[in-house]
Structure 1
């Protein structure tokens, strides 16, 4: 049988087969997604409480992720986990949009269904957020319209201008260089550039709208009253040791650790914000920020720690907190004797829960100020809880919107289903700050210094061991109070060679922190902080 193997000359129309122009289809899909996201973001910016489509989806990813995956992300990426998650959502969205753009050349109806489905996912993500009402679905729904419109326009432009079926350099009119003279391709790219510019302008408009409420201006306009009482303040002069490199007694606000689930810091207007006290109470309360500021506030130094703080870690800080004792609000509301859990709810839906007893046996505060100024936005402005002796995830809800009285057997707060303990008292811990691990030192008198903490119990003793020598008691700075960390120092005669230095602390109840190392889950890390140094002759 004869087979014709002679070359075939394609007509221009044959060169426009729909299988070739995938880059154009992919670009159309990505630009449709960019336009959709931009319109969704500008819609969300109209109402400060609404989440944008990307953040709404990312929030649902966090909620739905397996506990092990969430823990791995926190342990691996630390404070970078949130921007990486948002970036991941954007990458997945871009890939899905590119695929829909390619599909639109052959199956436009199916591709449009995909665009609508993506918008519906964003709308449902906003709707599912417990911190917002049904209207939070509006940004996702609004994103559908530009997504569909842009994909239709760019897909039609490919066919109409001779681009559908033509890869780069292939079109109806071929110049000597194989496509450099193709007006269809140029027109498509001009249209695509216009769409990209429109999406960028819309995104800029969203940022402008967001800036119309300046949370920093609101902070600056908020005048904190003088405290009616200052407990354990001012700190004794000898509470801070004069050791170069030592951790400050009070952590500056801009250096205080931040760990939370918020992908974007809530922007709350203190003029309209209200705190609700609800649940198992006789008299529910609804209080404005000004109502709280007119009450007798107290200022208390409290060391706060994150349950994710590894042995020797820095997810801990000490601050002077200004606020109203929580027990006063609970007494005013009249707590049911059957209630055993206080739940703090954030404006973004986060919940932390702790025993009702902890509102009465310590200085648990509804906080308005931190180190002499209104709460920074990233630390909960305008209201948050601070509970001495409990890890932040249970007792220190930020952007506080509601205090609910309930029972532990009726409600699990946010991190409990994700593998963390229901109740989480801060463990006794100590840390070596000077010298840093792997330091190179000079032989002679050298300070070994750091901090130790056991909030609500206080620190009674700190001991240091060099190599396998005897444990030596460190010099303790004056205690500020049982709720704060305590500085310590040991003057060491360093000898040449490599040395291992360990520290352990004993709390005010006489309990020494255990040696055995354990990770942060489910209720805080354990073990002695250890560093290795090299001493030159």
Structure 2
């Protein structure tokens, strides 16, 4: 092995060990961000709108994961090359490389907009990581250099042992970091005030039990999660406050308990859909949300004349807005609970907005401030070319079509699924068995609320052996029929009929 290659190998193994240590440190405290993910988070926010949209359209939710992986690989390459560029002739200088890398890592830790790092903690973590890098890289290089020419097998064993040891340390650090993050999230065991107006299930007629149809109420664990963070913010309810200011006569700042004490708690079943959901996709859910009406909170601060937008800002630096007219709809709430329990960290604990009429990107999580603005406000995704209106489109989805997309001649089978339309409700769902040429009405279950999705089912008996293209479409409560026009999610939500092929034998 040549001298440069042995330096790179030693630097790589040292980098693995140092990054594992930094990962554990970042897991133990939010005062020390993990440098690669901090850089990735900053890149996310600096990416131009057209480029961000291209990657989202091309890679979907893998875009963030691949960006994080790329930042981590870059950190390993930098660590490996640092030992090469700082060497003096044939003599490595791991201490100098460690100092250089420590400065870079410390600087990177401060670029993540979702963290408020403590300089002393960051310096301490990078000093320990640098010392580990210098010790591991120096030891591995000495072992490699000590072997004379001809001892290739010994060198190969040294490299294997070094890489395996480094990877084992990284795996241990990653596992320990993941475990700590899962266990050391915010304390969500908060006291929720009982709702004055609890959600109630209406008296409804019979609806068939269809195996495989999406449950009417989505569990918290199964509800989709989408945000711009590599790791969700961790906020404690006992130190969190909500600021309501801007063009208002009486600004307010409320603690978690004060928010519940001052305003009535209400509950309502409501659908939440992501603007990036594909036709037939699963980035949509339906839960029982509890919280306070935004309308009442705004009434308490008395907005001044000329207010146009209500700007919503989150703990992770994310922001968006909704028109003041929408904000005063009594169905818009500052949500504190989901399905009767406090919000989880991933779903915005301690509070988030819930706006039934509008896609999830404007249902801001980790909410910290509400501002009444006298002008139109462009939020994070609007600056990147996504819709400011963001009204949920009328959509329907097929969950069940025969048995695993197969049916038998003259045997009854089910076609079933769900349909939603924001705050407009669903009036009718139809099924086509000829790719949209003709349509037949499906049975629609009465919704749990005016802003709920509906389950639907259609009994079908195929009469001949062939492949049938099954499609569905919905009509909302205002009489608008779901459009057949195919459109990608960008910029204002996907559209088109969901179609599946069923083989009849």
Q: TM-score, normalised by structure 2?
A: 0.86
* 1:439 counterpart (405, 419, 426): 405
Task: Indicate conservation of the 8 Å contact 1:438/1:531, yes or no.
Answer: no
User: Partner of 1:386 in structure 2?
Assistant: 354
User: Partner of 1:520 in structure 2?
Assistant: 489
Rounded to whole Å, the distance in 1 between the matches of 2:210 and 2:179 is: 47
User: Partner of 1:11 in structure 2?
Assistant: none
Task: Indicate conservation of the 8 Å contact 1:30/1:97, yes or no.
Answer: yes
Rounded to whole Å, the distance in 2 between the matches of 1:462 and 1:380 is: 33
Task: Indicate conservation of the 8 Å contact 2:467/2:504, yes or no.
Answer: yes
Question: Structure 1, unaligned stretches of length 5 or more?
Answer: 1-18
Rounded to whole Å, the distance in 1 between the matches of 2:498 and 2:161 is: 61
In the TM superposition, what is the alpha-carbon distance from 1:258 to its structure 2 partner? 1.0
User: Partner of 1:293 in structure 2?
Assistant: 260
2:226 maps to 1:259: yes
In the TM superposition, 1:421-440 aligns within 5 A as 421-435=387-401, 439-440=405-406
* 2:110 counterpart (116, 124, 127): 127
Rounded to whole Å, the distance in 2 between the matches of 1:193 and 1:244 is: 48
In the TM superposition, what is the alpha-carbon distance from 1:114 to its structure 2 partner? 7.4
Rounded to whole Å, the distance in 1 between the matches of 2:373 and 2:106 is: 31
In the TM superposition, 1:152-191 aligns within 5 A as 161=142, 170-171=147-148, 178=151
C-alpha distance 181-494 of structure 1, shift in aligned 2 (>3 A): closer
In the TM superposition, 1:21-60 aligns within 5 A as 21-45=3-27, 47-48=29-30, 51-60=33-42
SS across alignment from 2:398: strand
Task: Indicate conservation of the 8 Å contact 2:419/2:474, yes or no.
Answer: yes
249-258 vs 475-484, greater mean Cα deviation: 475-484
2:469 maps to 1:486: no
User: Partner of 1:404 in structure 2?
Assistant: 371
124-133 vs 498-507, greater mean Cα deviation: 124-133
Rounded to whole Å, the distance in 2 between the matches of 1:156 and 1:50 is: 26
SS across alignment from 2:285: strand
What is the aligned residue count? Answer: 500
Q: TM-score, normalised by structure 1?
A: 0.82
C-alpha distance 206-316 of structure 1, shift in aligned 2 (>3 A): closer
Task: Indicate conservation of the 8 Å contact 1:105/1:155, yes or no.
Answer: no
Structure with higher Rg: it is 1
Rounded to whole Å, the distance in 1 between the matches of 2:287 and 2:120 is: 40
C-alpha distance 269-162 of structure 1, shift in aligned 2 (>3 A): closer
Task: Indicate conservation of the 8 Å contact 1:38/1:203, yes or no.
Answer: yes
Rounded to whole Å, the distance in 2 between the matches of 1:320 and 1:429 is: 20
2:313 maps to 1:330: no
* 1:502 counterpart (471, 475, 481): 471
In the TM superposition, what is the alpha-carbon distance from 1:456 to its structure 2 partner? 1.3
SS across alignment from 1:332: helix
C-alpha distance 527-400 of structure 1, shift in aligned 2 (>3 A): same
SS across alignment from 2:7: helix
In the TM superposition, what is the alpha-carbon distance from 1:241 to its structure 2 partner? 4.2
SS across alignment from 1:494: coil
SS across alignment from 2:429: strand
Rounded to whole Å, the distance in 2 between the matches of 1:403 and 1:126 is: 28
SS across alignment from 2:455: strand
C-alpha distance 85-240 of structure 1, shift in aligned 2 (>3 A): farther
Q: Residue deviations 1:446-476, cap 9 Å, x none?
A: 2222111112111112222211652212222
Q: Residue deviations 1:241-297, cap 9 Å, x none?
A: 422222211111111111111211322222222222233333332222122233420
Task: Indicate conservation of the 8 Å contact 1:39/1:142, yes or no.
Answer: no
User: Partner of 1:349 in structure 2?
Assistant: 317
